[in-house]
Amino acid sequence: MFLPPNPQIPQKFIYYPGVLKIWRPDVTGKEFYEILLFLVFVLAIVGELMPQGYICAVGGGSEGTNDWNRAPYKWIVEKADSGKIVVLSVNDETTWIPDYFRSLGASTSYNLRINSRTLANSQAMYDSIVASAGVFIKGGDQYNYINYWKGTLTEAAIKVVFNRGGVVSGTSAGAMVLGEHDLSAKYGTYYPDDALSNPFINQSHVESDFLKLIPGVLFDTHVIERARQGRMVPLFVKLQSDGINDVTIVGIDDRTAICISPDGTGRVMGSGAVAIYRIDSITNISSTQTAYRIENLLAHQLVAGWEYDFINKQIKATTASTRPFVISSPGVPIADITLTGTGFKANVWTSVLSTFLQSINSSRIVVLTNSTYLSQANLLVTALSSLSHSAEILNYSSNSETDTSFTSALSGSTALFVVGDDLTGLKPLLNSGSVCGGILRTKLQQPGWRVFAFGETGKLFTSGFSDNLTSDIYAAYRGKMTFATGLNSDANLVYQSTLFDDSDLYENRMCSALWAMFKGRLRFGMYGNGTTAYSFRSSDSSVTSSNFPLFLFDASGSTLCDSSVYRATSSIAPRQVIAINNLRISATNIKTSSFSFSQRKFVESTTGIEDEDVFKPENKQLTLSIFPNPAGRDFSVSVKDEKTTISRLEVFSITGERVFVTMESFLDEGVKSILVNSSRWAAGTYLVRAFTPNGTLFGKVIIN
């Protein structure tokens, strides 16, 4: 219980809890004290039913005066009644945030660095925090906050501010500790591709005994820019295995915030979206020690101006620009197509090609490409020859449209392979007047004709897709993505390959599926990744995966949609994130599961789940060699297997900032050892991620 230091001194404002302001300068000290005790008793009961103070959770990202952050930061100041706001962190900080709060009307604001349990337990820190009307927790490493502050006077002081109706806010890691449950980062970052493969790894550790300001909520941040939808979904599996069933995961994009009032109303502000994920009556989750399946997880995605009621668990308000979401076609995917998670590499596709060839009429196999990717086409023909199948190459260009031998070969094909790392040379096929495109549209409706399209080329055979994703790593943020209608117009499917291939493109690729579903009013969205083949069957309108887990969006029940109106510097259109209600998400790492588009659920081809039915990383026997470690000026990274090469290497600081990445020239062939210059890095622990043909490997290096 918090009481004023001297109850005999009438207070101008008593905040308790969040909704009460008393102005009674005429009462005696005894009367004042009795009134206060009564109110504490009554409101303590009310406080069990609703949050007591205000919460502002910010998704991280760069900040600027009068930019996206003005609305949420101004909200913080207003809910603190323009009083004192303390900015907490464990690191040395600039004065930008305190200065900004003061410029928005805070009476005073300053940084408090609390980087040890001794400081966290000091009376001076407690007194300074308790005397404030608002608390703001900076970004960094959330486990530092849990490790240094949990069970200390600092935690108690933050709760005092909140319980008497103040505002507690935070950005990035500072926002991630505001809920009842916290993804702790105790054992490192929970990467989305790893989470989809295995939700139960150590990095999924959740703390449920720190702050606990919003009951039943877990916050995640930097969602779209770091593709963290891929970890939010399987995290429900881990939570359920820990006995935590009634939880709402709130995923906040960078440069975006959700501000929650004591009545449970959360309002979205800023440039991006806030995703609200939870389990409801039609959600199914099952798991063993290694296998999992989550089906029809409910998701609402909100943009600025939308409101969510955390008490009644429903959307409370939308904007004037909100419009109906009406699916353009009642159809489901019907063509026999195989799409892959990445482009063609001869040394990794042999087994998948062999399986595919067993299911086709191989009397006339053609390989469609354009001049840029003829070398890939030739490698594919060689690979097919090694499997005792011949194929002819069709090098598409504008002249192909009137070349009767070309169109005849395409029309007479019994199976088609398509290669190319981008769509530039093949996009003319989508034009309404394209003769070759017309042939492909017709062939897609023919039973028995099969397509195997690698990487980005697979988008051609869907209903629609987002394009122009690689010309600018900020394409989605700056409104530069474009929408194209695919050849398979009745399929109601959007597909995005190479989801986790390049962290610079995470945002573009992660938001591309939902944005294309929004633009084309399409029902299903699906992601592909890595050396994985996704086989779509017309016989039962289903899809199966050869390696990486299935990960799908279903908008069959969606009725409302909207989009961001925020325009960043150098933008040509608003940020390309959307709002949509009643979205369903399904994912599994069980090989024997297929997703039925007609039934909108997983179906199993065998009964029971055995350990061999689970997708496993291919790198369990491989480890990274980092030498020297600890390092000083530089260090080298290689795989403890002389045959395994590294195609891409990334190094991250402990706070998640990427400080090193290999050049694109490594991507095709790979190298056996990479030298990293670390002379300008601050001392500390860094995380190393290496991409190899056999999977992704992780390690740590200490810089002295």
Q: Are 167 and 54 in contact (CB under 8 A)?
A: yes
pLDDT tens digit sequence for 163-219: 999 999 999 999 999 999 999 999 989 999 999 999 999 899 999 999 999 999 999
Q: What confidence category does residue 46 fall into, taking pLDDT thresholds of 50, 70 and 90?
A: very low
Distance CA 703, CA 680 (A): 10
Stretch (H or E) spanning 484: strand 482-485
| Residues 602, 636 share a domain | no
Residue with the two structure tokens 């790894």: 201
Residues facing 634 on adjacent strands: 677
Residue 27, Ramachandran bin (φ over 0: left; ψ between -120 and 50: alpha; else beta) = beta
Is 690 or 61 the better-scoring residue by pLDDT?
61
Most confident of 352-356, 650-654, 656-660: 352-356
Is 665 or 641 the better-scoring residue by pLDDT?
641
Q: Which residues, in sequence order, are CB contacts of 34 under 8 Å at separation 6+?
A: none
| Residues 211, 256 share a domain | yes
3-state helix, strand, coil in the chain (%, to 5): 25, 30, 45
Section 636-661 average pLDDT: 77
| Residues 670, 542 share a domain | no
Distance CA 108, CA 130 (A): 14
DSSP character for 573? S
pLDDT tens digit sequence for 545-604: 998 899 999 999 999 999 999 999 889 999 999 999 999 999 999 988 999 999 999 997
| Residues 4, 121 share a domain | no
Q: What is the pLDDT of residue 149?
A: 98
% the chain with pLDDT above 90 = 70
Helical packing angle, 153-163 and 142-149, nearest 10°? 100
Q: What is the pLDDT of residue 6?
A: 36
Q: Judge whether 618 lies within some domain.
A: no
Distance CA 696, CA 692 (A): 6
Q: What is the pLDDT of residue 47?
A: 44
Residues facing 110 on adjacent strands: 86
Distance CA 134, CA 162 (A): 8
Distance CA 143, CA 11 (A): 38
First to last CA, the chain: 46
Q: Which residues, in sequence order, are CB contacts of 350 under 8 Å at separation 6+?
A: 383, 386, 387
Section 652-664 average pLDDT: 72
Q: What confidence category does residue 693 fall into, taking pLDDT thresholds of 50, 70 and 90?
A: low
| Residues 228, 91 share a domain | yes
Q: Judge whether 633 lies within some domain.
A: yes
Closest CA to 350 of 314, 323, 388: 388
Tally of CB atoms within 10 A around 541: 18
Stretch (H or E) spanning 273: strand 273-278
Distance CA 457, CA 466 (A): 12
Q: What is the pLDDT of residue 35?
A: 52
Distance CA 674, CA 665 (A): 13
Distance CA 534, CA 523 (A): 18
Q: What is the pLDDT of residue 23?
A: 39
Stretch (H or E) spanning 409: helix 404-411
Q: What confidence category does residue 428 fall into, taking pLDDT thresholds of 50, 70 and 90?
A: very high
Predicted model pTM: 0.81
Q: Which two tokens stand for residue 80?
A: 């603190």
Q: Judge whether 562 lies within some domain.
A: no
Peptide bond into 7 cis (omega under 30): no
Residues facing 552 on adjacent strands: 526, 586
| Residues 440, 312 share a domain | no
| Residues 228, 96 share a domain | yes
Helical packing angle, 350-357 and 374-386, nearest 10°? 70
DSSP character for 549? P
Q: What is the pLDDT of residue 289?
A: 79
Q: Does 14 score more than 80 pLDDT?
A: no
Residues facing 39 on adjacent strands: none
Q: What is the pLDDT of residue 435?
A: 97
Q: Which residues, in sequence order, are CB contacts of 323 under 8 Å at separation 6+?
A: 560, 561, 562
Q: Judge whether 520 lies within some domain.
A: no
Closest CA to 690 of 654, 638, 649: 649
Q: What is the pLDDT of residue 34?
A: 55
Q: Are 500 and 534 in contact (CB under 8 A)?
A: no
For 93-106, b/e burial (b = at least 16 CB within 10 A) is: beeebbebbbebeb
Q: What is the pLDDT of residue 103?
A: 97
Instruction: Give ∠ CA 354-359-365 in degrees, rounded to 5.
Output: 75
Section 131-147 average pLDDT: 96
Closest CA to 391 of 372, 409, 373, 407: 409
Q: Which two tokens stand for residue 93?
A: 């900080």
Ramachandran angles phi, psi of 442, nearest 5°: -70, -45
Section 357-374 average pLDDT: 95
Q: Judge whether 669 lies within some domain.
A: yes
Q: What is the pLDDT of residue 667?
A: 45
| Residues 245, 102 share a domain | yes
Q: Judge whether 575 lies within some domain.
A: no
Distance CA 190, CA 230 (A): 10
Q: Does 38 score more than 60 pLDDT?
A: no
How many structural domains is the chain composed of?
A: 4
Burial of residue 9 (CB within 10 Å: 0-12, 13-18, 19+) is exposed
DSSP string, 678-700: -TTSPSEEEEEEEEETTEEEEEE
Q: What confidence category does residue 677 fall into, taking pLDDT thresholds of 50, 70 and 90?
A: confident
Q: What is the pLDDT of residue 2?
A: 35
Q: What confidence category does residue 27 fall into, taking pLDDT thresholds of 50, 70 and 90?
A: low
| Residues 244, 304 share a domain | yes
| Residues 219, 268 share a domain | yes
Closest CA to 220 of 168, 273, 264, 263: 273
Q: What is the pLDDT of residue 656?
A: 67
Tally of CB atoms within 10 A around 667: 15
Q: Judge whether 164 lies within some domain.
A: yes
What length does the chain have? 704
Is 218 or 668 the better-scoring residue by pLDDT?
218
Closest CA to 487 of 543, 427, 399: 427
Q: Which residues, in sequence order, are CB contacts of 634 under 8 Å at separation 6+?
A: 675, 676, 677, 678, 679
Is 37 or 690 the better-scoring residue by pLDDT?
690
pLDDT tens digit sequence for 291-323: 999 999 999 999 999 999 999 999 999 999 999
Distance CA 88, CA 620 (A): 40
Closest CA to 281 of 582, 589, 604: 582
Burial of residue 176 (CB within 10 Å: 0-12, 13-18, 19+) is buried
Residue 594, Ramachandran bin (φ over 0: left; ψ between -120 and 50: alpha; else beta) = beta
Q: Does 620 score more than 70 pLDDT?
A: no
The CATH number for 380's domain is 3.40.50.880
Q: Does 43 score more than 90 pLDDT?
A: no
Distance CA 353, CA 339 (A): 12
Q: What is the pLDDT of residue 412?
A: 97
Q: Judge whether 198 lies within some domain.
A: yes
Q: Does 53 score more than 60 pLDDT?
A: yes
Rg for the chain, CA atoms, rounded: 28
Q: Does 668 score more than 50 pLDDT?
A: no
22: amino acid identity, one letter: I
Distance CA 101, CA 83 (A): 10
Give whole-number Cα distances, 570 to 49, 69, 471, 480, 573, in Å: 46, 18, 14, 10, 9
Tally of CB atoms within 10 A around 74: 16
DSSP character for 598? T
| Residues 416, 540 share a domain | yes
Tally of CB atoms within 10 A around 442: 12
| Residues 592, 653 share a domain | no
pLDDT tens digit sequence for 236-246: 999 999 999 99
Q: Which two tokens stand for residue 262?
A: 């004591």
Structural domain span for residue 536: 337-472+483-505+528-550+588-607
Q: What confidence category does residue 20 fall into, taking pLDDT thresholds of 50, 70 and 90?
A: very low
For 626-645, b/e burial (b = at least 16 CB within 10 A) is: beebebeeebebbbeeeebb
Q: What confidence category does residue 697 fall into, taking pLDDT thresholds of 50, 70 and 90?
A: confident
Residues facing 214 on adjacent strands: 179
Residue with the two structure tokens 């070398």: 375
Is 283 or 615 the better-scoring residue by pLDDT?
283
Q: What is the pLDDT of residue 349?
A: 85
